[in-house]
Amino acid sequence: MDPATMKMLAAGLAIGLGLLGPGIGIGLIGSAAMQALGRNPEARGAILTNMILALALAEALGIYALIVAIILAMVA
């Protein structure tokens, strides 16, 4: 196979598989937060703060995958 093709395949797999985990994690975090708010609306502040922190950490993993994919695509 052509090296350019393999490079693009590697970049595509890196971003595709790298965003799978954070995507699922963000969905689970949002679902759990909505269930917690439904059960205990008075704890909105604490739930929201913890949810935003967990979302930021999950999103950071997705950004790392994006950076790796860009580096793979740009390396000669």
Task: Name the average pLDDT for the chain.
Answer: 93
Count the helices and strands in the chain (H runs, E runs): 3, 0
- Percent of the chain residues past pLDDT 70, beyond the cut: 99
**Are residues 15 and 66 in contact, defined by beta-carbon separation less than 8 angstroms?**
yes
Give the separation between CA 75 and CA 66, rounded to whole angstroms. Answer: 14
- Count the Cβ atoms, other than its own, within 10 Å of residue 22: 19
pTM strictly above 0.85:
no
Q: For the chain, which domains are there? A: 13-74 (1.20.20.10)
Of the pLDDT bands very low, low, confident and very high (cuts 50, 70, 90), residue 76 is low
**Residue 14: partners with Cβ closer than 8 Å, 6 or more residues away:** 65, 68, 69, 72
Of the pLDDT bands very low, low, confident and very high (cuts 50, 70, 90), residue 42 is very high
